[in-house]
Chain A
Amino acid sequence: MNPERQTLNTDATGGDAPPAASRRSAMLVLLGALVLIVASFTTLDLKWAEFLAPDATAKMAEFLGGFFPPEASPRFLAKLGWASLETLAMSALGTLIAVVISLALALPASLAPRTARASVIRGATRLVLNALRSIPELVWAALWVIAAGLGPFPGTLALAAHTVGVLGRLFADTLENLPPAPARALRENGVPASAAFLYATLPQALPQLMSYSLYRWENNIRAASILGVVGAGGLGQMLYFHLSLFQMREAASVVLAMLAIVALVDTLSFFARRQLTD
């Protein structure tokens, strides 16, 4: 555990053979993992009997058979299409809101901690961003559903809340790592801070900010499709609804729509990435 002692030990052993200390710590980690795994399986009340019982295979087959054929009546497909659109709209809007707020929060979060006041502001903003990020979208959705009622609106807000945490930090780090010369050149020639930001800092950072935002949007489309299971709209809400009524054929269609959206996003992002990197 003590890093100093460890370096001492490795120095002492030297050579190509794995040093005794690192081998011992590897064994300790392995042992720890084994204990954790055994403890997990023994304390959890797992119902293996349900799977190993003789009639389990038949039950499972019946359950799976219920999904076929997926529901494909035109009326249902229209509803499914609308829910998919709702999902896409939630993800796009949630990301857009998050981008705007993140940019606003990235400014205080990227303040150089030169004075006490600056470092307090910087620290506080980063703390807020950390808190926003560490609560997953689904938990945010459950909270927003309480505040804003069922539907896609709380889903949008949930995506925005979590994404602000992620993007705010990435944006702040981007701004911090920019070469400072262009902005300083403008500032030293008497340009106000806002103009220096708009004409020197922002254009330099824009490609990076765009690529982060697009990457988050991609993630958010995936997240938006499942947020609905707590009542926050889109395909997830539809899936939850039909599963609760044991309408398995409808549920199968919804899952297929989810897979289609994910596949579409993956393909588009794959080609977009190739375009951008070539």
Chain B
Amino acid sequence: MPTAPRSPTREDARLRDPAWHLRLTMAVLAALLLWPMLVASEFKPWQLLDAHSLAASGRFLASFVPPALDRDFLVLVAQSAWITVAIATAGLTLGWLGAVPLTLLGTARLSQSSVGRPMRPLPALGRQAVRWLLIFLRSVPELVWALLFVRVVGLGPTAGVLAIALTYTGMLGKVYSEVLESTEAGPSEALLRNGSSRLGAFFYGALPQAAPELTSYTIFRWECAVRSSVIMGFVGGGGLGQQMDMSMKMLAGGEVATMLIVFMMLVALADHVSRLLRDRLA
């Protein structure tokens, strides 16, 4: 028996998206949520297309070509690029110097007071305090640290170095502790139980297992520090960022273009060096 042809209305119903109720509700909800966000962020793209601002941005963009390549300027850019790397390196070094003692204090794996028994309240409290200090140091954005230090020590690399040092003390301290906590407990515990000092347990128990990971994370952080030291230049932390900020304020597009290119090359170089070193360690 041949099947009767379906009526067109049933065909339509079969083809209709079964989830359309939900989809419509979600779309309306999304629009309702989006509206206040558009207002709050003063989202007015037509401002960009306004003849006056279009001409201004057009002039600025046009001045990007050709990039500024005169000798004096290139020397200045090279100097700023070195200062940027130096700020990152010095900041990371100081951050490392701050992070290592805090890690040794904060890592429960190296605790003498918790060998074979629950940790005593006082050491537990001390560890918690170290952890809170580290959280505080890395929660304040490095740019904010830089802004504050510019107020204390004035414009220049000192503010950038200190800002990186404080933030990276927090970051390195946290990750170092986590890496050490995840090492095999056996060796350090055996050392501690037999009367070894905390440092002994660290050097002969935990460090040999964790060294590659610790080194590779530190190198990775150096790469990040190079990037953040450029950014800190924008609030007066010296180096390439500060030069870029000045050129932008003077609307010198050619100079901005050169520095953007140098910045990309610098980041790519740091990235490359860091990857090369980390691959070797792995």
Contact = CB atoms under 8 A, between A and B. Distances in A.
Given A40-B85, A50-B158, A89-B36, A135 B143 contact: no
Contacts of A202: none
A157 to B, nearest CB: 8
A153 interface: yes
A240 B236 CA distance: 12
Contacts of B234: 138-139, 142, 229-230
Nearest to B141: A226
A46 B157 contact: yes
Nearest to B152: A63
Give the secondary structure class of B's interface.
helix
A246 B152 CA distance: 11
B10 interface: no
Interface in B231-280: 231, 234-235, 241, 244-245, 248, 251, 256, 260, 263-264, 267-268, 277, 280
A136 B143 contact: no
A181 interface: no
Interface string B33-49: 01011101111100110
A45 B159 CA distance: 11
B156 A47 contact: yes
B245 A259 contact: no
Contacts of B143: 138, 226, 229, 236
Nearest to B160: A44
B128 interface: no
Contact of B227 (A90, A131, A136): A136
A134 interface: yes
Contacts of A92: 37
Contact of B90 (A37, A82, A131, A222): A37
Nearest to A146: B60
A86 interface: yes
Interface of B: 34, 36-38, 40-44, 47-48, 53, 56-57, 60, 82-83, 85-87, 89-90, 93, 139-141, 143-144, 147-148, 151-154, 156-158, 161, 227, 230-231, 234-235, 241, 244-245, 248, 251, 256, 260, 263-264, 267-268, 277, 280
7 contacts: A41-B86, A45-B157, A45-B158, A86-B40, A142-B234, A155-B41, A243-B147
